[in-house]
Amino acid sequence: MSPQTDIGVGMVGYAFMGRAHSLAWNTVGRVFDLPLRPRLAAICGRDKAAAEAAAGRLGWAAAETDWRALIARDDVQLVDIAAPGDLHAPIAIAALAAGKHVLCEKPLANNLAEAEAMRAAADAAYPGGARAMTGFNYRRVPALALARRLVEQGRIGSLRHFRAVYLQDWLADPDAPMTWRMRAERAGSGALGDLGAHVVDLARYLTGDEVTGVSAISETFVRERPLADGPVVEGGPRGTVTVDDAVVCTGRLASGALASFEVTRYATGRKNGLRVELNGSAGSLAFDLERLNELEFFDASDDSAASGFRRILVTEGGHPYLSGWWPPGHTLGWEHTFTHQARDLLTAIAAGDQPRPSFADGLAVQRVLDAVARSAASGNSWESVKN
């Protein structure tokens, strides 16, 4: 392999996703042989003291309080956007215009128009060498990457059903305080964009198919929440929740297969319950995020007397992404999906290839989310996905 070349990374955001991305940038070069070595140049946040503290804690060389200054830095060649949704479009478009590579967290944007503008910016920057990726980290779960491989190999035959549920409960307490995720002007939507973007992307990724139409209902269970940075005070000020709390959706894929999606942040007792199942003419696949290193596979050609779902422990060196890690049977964690994402992005940049999922993929997901929102707003009408 040729000598490594450094690439300076600048990241906007230092909260939950910022910490996950920081760990990945710090780890990826220690696990995989890379054509580019990431250098953590600067992290950005509006609060100077908090940004500087995050830089020290997470391994960044400098801190900025203005994302424009971050983009303008000569030591930043790749801009990682781990900020709220309303910042995705302006930061990504400006970074691409400046010739910087971009990694943008999902959902790509807060609405379809923004996503279309971001895809156009990525297309315009591509001939000059800038590359853009949407951050759908669940594509990088080895078990799900193996599921995609099995589907591509025809192991489940013709797809008939795709179903997914993504269940969380962090809003089940009606006195949990307001955050930016409950404001449409910051987040675009609630569970739909936060969780639904993941399951729609997995539908496209695992099946190689497109969602063509949907019918959906949504609900906001608690419409006002306390405005509090600390302990909630009884009788204190409250703000209006302007996003959905839960969405249930049925759909159809271009192949004719049926799809169903359920996402909620009100499933009491479910902390991060992502479950996916594909049923085909020759077999089925099932995955549960709470058993992240396992994939269930049913082969309809097995002898009926001994048939059943088999458990595949996805830790072998020949399984996706496992070559850089531990001996078989030594399991990986959720955080390593971001390490795999960083590896794939750096490899694509070095080769001059289009990273996947691209901004075009992010836009395709946004079109489905838009159709779901239109259907729910109209009372469960059938809505075609715009192309």
Q: Are residues 134 and 171 in the same domain?
A: no
Q: What is the mean pLDDT of residues 57-76?
A: 98
Single residue among 92, 120, 138 that ends a domain in this structure = 138
Least reliable range by pLDDT among 173-177, 195-199, 364-368: 173-177
CA angle (227, 233, 234) in 5-degree steps: 105
Q: Is position 352 within any domain?
A: no
- Flag whether pLDDT at 235 surpasses 80: no
Strands 159-167 and 258-264 come out as: parallel
pLDDT at 128: 98
Domains of the chain: total: 2
Q: Are residues 198 and 316 in the same domain?
A: yes
Q: Is position 74 within any domain?
A: yes
Q: Are residues 110 and 174 in the same domain?
A: no
- The alpha carbon of 52 is separated from its chain's Cα centroid by a whole number of angstroms, namely 27
Structure tokens at 85: 């949704």
Q: Are residues 71 and 48 in the same domain?
A: yes
Q: Is position 75 within any domain?
A: yes
| pLDDT band with cut points at 50, 70 and 90 for residue 2 | very low
pLDDT at 1: 36
Dist CA 299 CA 314 (whole Å): 17
Tell me if 92 sits within 8 A of 102, measured CB to CB.
yes
- Flag whether pLDDT at 171 surpasses 70: yes
| pLDDT band with cut points at 50, 70 and 90 for residue 232 | low
Q: Are residues 131 and 148 in the same domain?
A: no
Q: Is position 318 within any domain?
A: yes
What is each CA distance from 283 to 127, 151, 291, 304, in whole angstroms?
42, 10, 20, 13
Q: Are residues 189 and 90 in the same domain?
A: no
Q: Is position 353 within any domain?
A: no
Q: What is the CATH number of the domain that holds 155?
A: 3.30.360.10
Q: Are residues 102 and 187 in the same domain?
A: no
Residue whose token pair is 């853009």: 132
- Flag whether pLDDT at 231 surpasses 80: no
Dist CA 229 CA 234 (whole Å): 14
pLDDT at 58: 98
Strands 36-44 and 383-384 come out as: unpaired
Each residue of 255-288: pLDDT tens digit?
999 999 999 999 999 999 999 999 999 999 999 9
Q: What is the mean pLDDT of residues 340-362?
A: 98
Residue 316 gets which letter from DSSP? S
Strands 238-240 and 224-226 come out as: antiparallel
pLDDT at 164: 98
Single residue among 72, 107, 138 that ends a domain in this structure = 138
pLDDT at 236: 84
Largest CA distance in the chain: 66
Dump strand ranges (E) for 309-380: 310-313
Q: Are residues 202 and 166 in the same domain?
A: yes
Q: Is position 154 within any domain?
A: yes
